[in-house]
Amino acid sequence: MDDQEKEEFQPQEAKSIYKSKNPLKFWWFVIKRSLDFKTRSPRKEYWMFYIGNIIVFIALLILLTLILYVSNIADYKELVMVYSVFVIVWRIALLLPGFSLVTRRFHDTNKNAWLTVLFFACNLFFGYLSSVLENARSHNYNIIILVLIVIICIAIDLWLFIVLGFFKGASGPNKYGANPLD
């Protein structure tokens, strides 16, 4: 892929968006780039997306709470079910944008995108582990093995979090395209 083809993957608004300090603009920018797995994203896009994500999530949670209040749903089990479904739908809806953003961040640091799979595998394991631990007393699980796996996943997640959130991207162009901040 030559430099001109790599440049086509960069949206025109990218040049101006990186000057913004509005996390909601970044949030929407990342949502629109959900299918972009070939270019790069700087640290600012990564952090601002997650800040924007928290803002949008809280706003939608407040809206959902108001709707439930007006609907007079007061039963605890119903509330837990509605909130659980909301969180599941939210996480599924943001899976692809998050996956592509993490891939672009790895590209920006000149690392292989297969690390994205490792990042999400550890996070999925934590979700699985929470359900296992809920049933640990009723089943005969080897807790020591689970604890070792948890420690390994925490170490991997911590390392990947540091790479994604704190490592500066490669200066100048790399094999994944031009530096988005240039």
How many CA atoms lie within 13 Å of 58's alpha carbon, on the beta-carbon side? 7
Question: What single DSSP character describes residue 110?
Answer: T
pLDDT (0 to 100) of residue 141: 61
Q: 70-81, pLDDT tens digit by residue?
A: 888 777 788 888
Task: Name the band, by pLDDT with cuts 50, 70 and 90, for residue 34.
Answer: very high
Task: Give the closest residue to 62 by CA, choosing from 77, 83, 76, 48.
Answer: 83
Q: 130 or 68, which is more confident? A: 68
pTM over 0.85: no
Are the beta carbons of 29 and 17 closer than 8 angstroms? yes
pLDDT (0 to 100) of residue 10: 53
For residue 39, how far is the Cα from the chain centroid?
Answer: 17
**What end-to-end distance do the CA atoms of the chain give, in Å?**
19
pLDDT (0 to 100) of residue 134: 64
Task: Give the closest residue to 171 by CA, choosing from 110, 116, 105, 112.
Answer: 110
Q: In the predicted model, what is the mean pLDDT of residues 51-66?
A: 94
In this predicted structure, which of 28-42, 60-74, 137-151, 152-166 has the lowest mean pLDDT?
Answer: 137-151
Q: 179 or 14, which is more confident? A: 179
Q: 94-145, pLDDT tens digit by residue?
A: 999 999 999 999 999 999 888 888 888 887 777 777 666 666 655 656 677 7
3-state SS assignment for residue 30: helix
Are the beta carbons of 116 and 106 closer than 8 angstroms? yes
In this predicted structure, which of 8-22, 58-72, 133-147, 163-177 has the lowest mean pLDDT?
Answer: 133-147
